[in-house]
Amino acid sequence: MACGSVNPVTRRQTAAAEGCGFQHVHLSVRQKLDEAWPSENESSALIEDCLARARRYGRVILDTNDPEGSAETQERAAAMGLSLPQTRVRVSKALAELTKGLLDRGLEATLLCVGGDTLLALMQAVGTHELTPVCEMAPGVVLTSFVYGGRARYILAKSGGFGKPDLLCCLADRIGAGREEKA
């Protein structure tokens, strides 16, 4: 799951998701704002760690939110002279590059993308301009397909500002994520 939404509803959903078995990876300020970071060896290590977690647990959240009550990313972005729109684009792009890295290294999973900026950045990162709706999995949550790497991929997309706290858990259960935990 790629989570780029800062909405309080999303924060409650990711907390509930962690409680139902999602591995939760919080990106650091550097990982979110340093444009060179995705091309560094450290990013490869994070991608491999996330890929291993996905294969073992079936449910992983890549989250761009700072810890509750922290404004570290906003403060660092301001110190770098970035406006709020520039910060949103940079953070979304970093998350999209990490998600693309997972796909490039063989991730076999239905993605869940929370936040419109995140979805747009991911589609740009994988070079696709078309999503094909498959079905509505829950009110406001659409399963779509796109082609990347010569094959169909699936992504659930939702905005950050709606849904019950257990929505992410329910969606993961519905698509079968994490049913085959490996030792």
Contacts of 6 (CB under 8 A, 6+ apart): 64, 65, 160
Helix ranges (H only) for the chain are: 8-19, 29-33, 41-57, 72-79, 84-104, 116-125, 167-175
Is the confidence at residue 182, as pLDDT, over 50?
no
pLDDT tens digits, residue range 95-140?
Answer: 999 999 999 999 998 999 888 889 999 999 999 999 999 999 999 8
Residue the block writes with tokens 């761009």: 64
Overall average pLDDT of the 150-173 stretch:
89
pLDDT tens digits, residue range 67-103?
Answer: 777 889 999 999 999 999 999 999 999 999 999 999 9
Q: Are 63 and 3 in contact (CB under 8 A)?
A: yes
Half-sphere exposure of 43 (CA within 13 A, CB side): 20
CA dist 118 and 93 (Å) reads 7
